[in-house]
């Protein structure tokens, strides 16, 4: 199992709780990480806090403040939805379904590998 809030940022969720701007606290700070002068001299990193739940999101995915604001709101909306709805959240259900698909894909790949090994062994025996 995995922490609930880490399931956020999985797109196709339509049934999310709405956020009101009055509940949000927004700051613009200098980003960190690689990028040199482009990151160190511009305040294009967005820190968004949902006051009622205390959830904080930091977004510095692009150099554009507007794009970062939009992305931060999307991530925050999904995290708030997870916070209040828990396992009933669409985001959580999507994450669970994708984990299941991933495990199934791994299992099939492993089976195919075993079949190939067995086939090669049979070919070796036929040659001898």
pLDDT tens sequence across 54-84:
999 999 988 889 999 999 998 998 888 888 8
Q: What average pLDDT is seen over the chain?
A: 83
Q: Which residues contact 43 (CB under 8 A, 6 or more apart)?
A: 28, 29, 30, 65
Tens digit of each residue's pLDDT (9 = 90 or more) over 24-37: 999 998 877 777 77
Residues 60 and 113 in one domain: no
Exposed / middle / buried, residue 48 (Cβ in 10 Å: 0-12, 13-18, 19+): buried
* CATH code at position 74: 3.30.160.20
**Distance, CA of 108 to CA of 110 (rounded, Å):** 5
- Measured distance CA(97)–CA(57) in Å, rounded: 25
Same domain, 52 and 109: no
45 lies in a domain? yes
Are residues 81 and 94 both part of a single domain?
A: no
Residues 53 and 73 in one domain: yes
Q: Based on the structure, what is the number of domains in the chain?
A: 2
Check: CB of residue 78 under 8 Å from CB of residue 48.
Answer: no
Determine the pLDDT at residue 87: 80
For residues 24 and 46, the answer to whether their CB atoms sit within 8 Å is no
In this prediction, residue 43 has a pLDDT band, given cuts at 50, 70 and 90, of confident
Same domain, 101 and 118: yes
What is the domain extent for residue 102? 89-127
Let me know if residue 10 belongs to a domain.
no
Looking at the structure, tell me whether residues 106 and 58 fall in a common domain.
no
């Amino acid at each position: 199992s995995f922490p609930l809030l880490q399931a956020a940022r999985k797109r196709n969720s339509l049934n999310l709780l709405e956020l009101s701007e009055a509940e949000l606290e927004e700051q613009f700070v200098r980003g960190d990480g690689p990028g040199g002068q482009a990151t160190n001299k511009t305040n294009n990193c967005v820190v968004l806090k949902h006051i009622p739940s205390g959830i904080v999101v930091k977004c510095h995915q692009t150099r554009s403040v507007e794009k970062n604001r939009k992305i931060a709101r999307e991530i925050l909306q999904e995290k708030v939805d997870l916070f209040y709805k828990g396992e009933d959240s669409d985001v959580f259900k999507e994450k669970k379904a994708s984990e299941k698909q991933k495990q199934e894909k791994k299992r099939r790949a492993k089976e195919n590998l075993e079949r190939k090994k067995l086939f090669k062994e049979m070919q070796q025996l036929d040659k001898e």
